[in-house]
Amino acid sequence: MSQSNLLVILSDEHQARAMGCAGHPFAQTPNLDRLAERGTMFTNAYTPSPICVPARASFATGRYPHQTRLWDNAMPYMGQIPGWGHALQRSGIPVESIGKLHYRDENDPAGFDVEHIPMNVVGGVGMVWASIRAEDERVDAPGRMLGDYIGPGNSKYTDYDAAVTARTKAWFEDRAASGDTRPWCLYVGLVAPHFPLVVPQEFYDLYPHDILPVPKLHPRDGYQRHQWVEKQNAFMNSEGKFRDEDERLAAIASYYGLCSWLDSNVGEILTGLDTSGFGENTTVVYSSDHGDNVGARGLWGKSNLYQESTAIPMIMAGKGVPKGRCQTPVSLLDLSATIAEHFDCTLNGAEGIRSLVDIATEPDNPDRPVFSEYHAAGAVSGAFMLRKGRWKYHHYIGFEPELFDLQEDPEELHDLAGDPAHACNLAMMEQALRDICDPDEVNRQAFEDQAAMIARLGGRKAALKLGAPGATPPPTLDRTQ
């Protein structure tokens, strides 16, 4: 058994490139940069699903959404599929959580000995109204997804992150004073940079509007979005709800400000780890559940297959972890396997998932396939992504596919799916995706499961009233004291 502790920090909606260590031209993340300097940064990491609840259920279990059948933000994890937390518990490893989980309820046996100030889905059911996906049946999202106010200030989310950070530092102190020398696993869930796009003034001020980039592929400049993406975006259309150009710029500044706010909290947590005496004997992993489009293609939030949405940060540092960059594609599912293997436990996850330490110590394998899928809010049909080598393939049920050459076109500016010169590459990638799942059957199963859930909860009329209209509210601050 490993004698080192394991600290896993998972943020929410952090775009992979929005870090200094990722080469971003102006994002300020000094604490994450230092973490990357002393460990491995995985430059091609992906989410199994670009939306919170399914991604987190997959992370808990090491299985894809089509294996968990937890498809959307109304199908939270509640421990029904054994995950890495259960594996640790069976081996007697202390395993606790602090902060956002986005599971069903803190009383469920979800694999933690204790859940401190957990943030879970609303009412134990989540956004059921958004599970009505058929184009002729769904309703537009109420209100404005990004928040009524955008700009400098505090929100319930920033207050919650401050509370999670403080509780984590106190946890280290309590653990150090306990006299219990067993190796432990602690999961910490921070919500930034997830909307609402409100951030403390000092972090907002790091990003004056005149340094912000012109968004790429904006429809107002003549770009035509893929038809599936157009229909998905019409469900919320955040770009169309900005009051003016200044507010759009404030949204971009706030997003990057929240990335720096997140980084500041990570720095406080790592300082607390060192101060308590655990720093030298703790492996640290940082990642996020998915990314954010931040205005690219006129899109905000996540919920599509482009790099901004599906690529995630992944950094690991500690004893036995090599220093440098690993270009082998990895997934949150590999992080699931890593947690189990760190404590010599077994996880019954998806075929092919592996420990990040093992991957990092081997030569880069750019042809390792990584898969993601989406069956949630706004999706009129299932969407599937496969990254393999230089190629990135998007498969949409009922719509034309997309194919990008990330070696020559890392910004995904040129869709090659319709180019006869790439017909063989397109066919190769489709077959590789079908080796993982049957997309048509998965799409059918997702709609069937969602319809059954809606019927079980009282039908469409009842479903439209269930769940938060936008971002999930955090627990009240009374519980953080």
Confidence of residue 464 (pLDDT cuts 50, 70, 90): confident
Three-state secondary structure string covering 376-437: CCCCCCCEEEEEECCEEEEEECCCCCEEEECCCCCCCCCCCCCCHHHHHHHHHHHHHHHCCC
Q: What pLDDT sits at residue 278? A: 98
- What ranges do the domains of the chain cover? 5-480
In the chain the first and final C-alpha atoms are separated, in Å, by 35
Q: Is the pLDDT of residue 137 over 80?
A: yes
pLDDT tens column, 4-15: 999 999 999 999
Neighbours of 3 (CB within 10 A): 9
Per-residue confidence (pLDDT) for residue 471, from 0 to 100: 84
Structure confidence by residue, pLDDT tens digits, 393-452: 999 999 999 999 999 999 999 999 999 999 999 999 999 999 999 999 999 999 999 999
Token pair, residue 334, equals 């590999």
In whole numbers, what is the pLDDT of the chain averaged over residues? 96
Note the residue count of the chain. 481
Using CB atoms within 10 Å of the CB of residue 122, give its burial: 0 to 12 exposed, 13 to 18 middle, 19+ buried: middle
Backbone angles phi, psi at 138, to 5 degrees: -70, 165
* Among candidate residues 293, 289, 167, 166, the one with its CA nearest the CA of residue 237: 293
Q: How far apart are CA 405 and CA 120, in angstroms?
A: 38
Please indicate, yes or no, whether the overall pTM of this predicted structure exceeds 0.95. Answer: yes
Please say if the pLDDT value at position 77 is more than 80.
Answer: yes
Strand 330-331 versus strand 45-46 pairing type: parallel
Please give the share of the chain, as a percent, with pLDDT higher than 90: 93
| Mean pLDDT computed over 372-398 | 98
Express each pLDDT in 352-368 by its tens digit: 999 999 999 999 999 99
Per-residue confidence (pLDDT) for residue 481, from 0 to 100? 43
H or E element, residue 40: strand 40-42
- Taking only the tens place, the pLDDT of each residue in 2-54 is 579 999 999 999 999 999 999 999 999 999 999 999 999 999 999 999 999 99
* DSSP secondary structure code for residue 216 in this structure: T
Q: Residue 480 pLDDT > 70, yes or no?
A: no
CA 298 to chain centroid, in Å, comes to: 20
The pLDDT value recorded for residue 402 is 99
Which structure tokens are listed for 439? 């997309």
Contact yes or no for 277/326 (Cβ under 8 A): no
Confidence of residue 466 (pLDDT cuts 50, 70, 90): confident
Superfamily of domain 5-480: Alkaline Phosphatase, subunit A (3.40.720.10)
DSSP 149-200: --EES--HHHHHHHHHHHHHHHHHHHHHHH---S--EEEEEEEEESSS-EE-
Pairing between β-strand 370-374 and β-strand 383-388 as defined by DSSP bridges: antiparallel
What residues form DSSP beta bridges with 42?
Answer: 326
Look at phi and psi of residue 332 and say left if phi exceeds 0, alpha if psi is from -120 to 50, else beta.
alpha
